[in-house]
Amino acid sequence: MSEIKVALTSLRASSVRLDLMSIRGIMIGMITARAPQIFEISVTQKVHNKYLWGNFHCRESFVRKFLQETMGWSLRRSTRAGKKTPDGVTYILTNAYFRLVHTISDNTVPNTLIVNTDQTLVTYSAGASETYAPKGSKQVEVVGKDEKRGFTLVVGISMSGEALPFQVIYAGKSNRSLPSPNAPDYQMATGILKFRIESGGDNHWSTQSTMKNYVQYTLAPYFEGHRQDPNQICVWQIDCWSVHRSAEFRLWMHNTYPWIRIHYVPANCTGLFQPCDVGIQRVLKLAIRRTALQDVINDTTEQLDHGVEPNMVAFEKRLSVVRDRSVRWLVHGYKAISNPELIKKVIFQILLSFSHSPHNHRLSNSVLLERRALTSHMRV
Amino acid sequence: MTRKVARQLLLERIGTDKEFYRSLKGEDNGGEEEDDGDNSNDGDNGMVYYDEIDSSKTIDATIADVLTCTPADCLADIYADEYSGSSSESDAENRGTGVNLDMYIGDKFSNCNATEGWMEWNSK
């Protein structure tokens, strides 16, 4: 316990910005190296208002309590500004649902050819404005507060339950800004899973160019690989982010891939109508977080095993290193969401919910029942 | 069957909602999305931050959360504000309660805690 306090105090003293996951990683690493028997202790855990017995896992709830009560540190929950759902949200969503049904039924689009795509920011860690480096060493680029603190991940799922290869966009203008081919799991990511790793220029955000690349190298090949008829219409559901909505992108799509019909998730409704956003990203981000946690644990145990004193323990923040490590995070994230039953369930939960729409009030009971039947048929 | 039902539903919708019918003829660009609130923690003033992603949860536990609550419950709550009709047991089933979670979880990869099996699995 005292060694953990020393390590955390030293990290804080060196102005390292800390988040709960990193602290938990250091604590687990130190317990693993110094007193692994602690993990054999039986403790109770509150799950859904019931107390269950289990082994000590150094959960985040324990870490929070430890930091507040033992270290006397302040904690703050990161809050994301909630988007207000638009007025008449049920009407808007019901219309979006009918638009989707219209395209699907008019063009006999099978579930394999209906894809939802979403983008999400993945941060390397809480970041740090400074890092530990030996005296006299050159300035070390670290994960900081700027645009290099993370990367954009483009995730696609099909209504048949398939996860499309990821597109990953890192900040930087050349290949030197991308993970090295020697990065852990790089061959798995690019060779087997067909991830597309790109540099986004000044920042890691998607651009016209990267979106076009996504369509050209990931989406269109997926559709072409699954459709039987070259004239088959395919459906692509995306949010109405400015690049997606831009005239340039829409015109390019219309001219280049006229057989891909774009359906926009209504503005500020992604949390309700975008399958990726509703369920898949949570699972994906947790898998990424856990793999990053494993890196912190490994860093800590390795240092202690090599005789580093607790007050000198640090976790890796060099951009080149965490960027390379991020490839393995993504492989684990992809594995976590490659669960066809989960993907289908999330998508059909959204569709089923339209059976409850008050905007069905103009429809007869028989039509309501048939709408449910329709959703059930789409489920197959 | 699916196409027939879809067509019937669409016709009904079109018949009762002229605005929707007109919108089918034009392009839909989804409206304008608000900018994402940047939740970066710049200027932390010594705080330790945490968010909704709890690294101590197993992937299985998160999958169970996803399947047993949102989004259907969220939508149902919104609808409930506007709709006076009562829901039946089958409604509850459709909203996700009573899901047979065994179908979706149980993979060695996803059911390990960070301090035990996960580390063993991860080191292979």
pLDDT digits (tens, 9 = 90+) for A45-61: 776 677 777 778 888 88
pLDDT band at B121 (very low <50, low <70, confident <90, very high): low
Given CB atoms, is A58 within the 8 Å cutoff of chain B? yes
- Check CB contact under 8 Å for A342 and B24: no
Q: Are residues A53 and A94 in the same domain?
A: no
Q: Tens of pLDDT along A271-320?
A: 788 888 878 998 999 999 989 888 888 888 888 888 888 888 877 778 88
A144 and A200 within one domain: yes
Q: Is B76 part of any domain? A: yes
Both A334 and A362 in a single domain? yes
Is B28 domain-assigned?
no
Q: Is the pLDDT of residue B1 over 50?
A: no
Same domain, A98 and A225: yes
Q: What's the mean pLDDT in A73-89?
A: 73
Tell me which chain A residues have a C-beta less than 8 angstroms from the C-beta of B37. 80-83
**Domain assignment of residue B93, yes or no:** yes
- Do A7 and A34 lie in one domain? The reply is yes
Domain with A43 in it: 1-77
Question: What's the distance, Cα to Cα, between the start and end of chain B in Å?
Answer: 49
Examine the domain organization and report whether A19 and A53 are in the same domain.
yes
pLDDT at B26: 67
Encode pLDDT of B86-108 as tens digits: 444 444 444 444 456 666 666 66
Residue B51 lies in a domain: no
Whether A106 shows a pLDDT value over 70: the answer reads yes
Q: Identify the top-confidence range among A16-25, A98-107, A244-253, B61-70.
A: A244-253
Residue A354 lies in a domain: yes
The domain tally of chain A equals: 2
Least confident of A335-339, A376-380, B114-118: A376-380
pLDDT the model gives residue A37: 86
Residues A114 and A261 in one domain: yes
> Is A200 a member of any domain?
yes
pTM for the full model? 0.79
**Which of A126-130, B15-19, B56-60 is predicted with the least confidence, judged by mean pLDDT?**
A126-130
Question: Quick check: is A301 in a domain?
Answer: no
Residue A130 has pLDDT above 60, yes or no: no
Residue A365, domain member (yes or no): yes
Which of residues A77, A101, A118 is at a domain's end?
A77
Evaluate whether residue A94 is within a structural domain: yes
| Whole-complex ipTM | 0.78
* Chain B interface mutation, best of A69, A346, A380, highest count of B Cβ atoms under 10 Å: A346
Instruction: Identify whether B86 is part of a domain.
Output: yes
> A114 and A202 share a domain?
yes
**Residue A241 covered by a domain:** yes
Within a domain: residue A302?
no
Question: What's the structural domain count of chain B?
Answer: 1
A101 to A98, A162, B5: CA distances (angstroms): 5, 20, 10
- Domain interval for residue B84: 71-124
Is B97 inside a domain boundary? yes
A160 with A98, same domain? Answer: yes
Q: Do A247 and A224 share a structural domain?
A: yes
Of B50, B56, B104, the CB nearest to A57: B56
- pLDDT of the residue at B111: 63
Q: Is residue B75 part of a domain?
A: yes
CATH of the domain at A362: 3.30.420.10
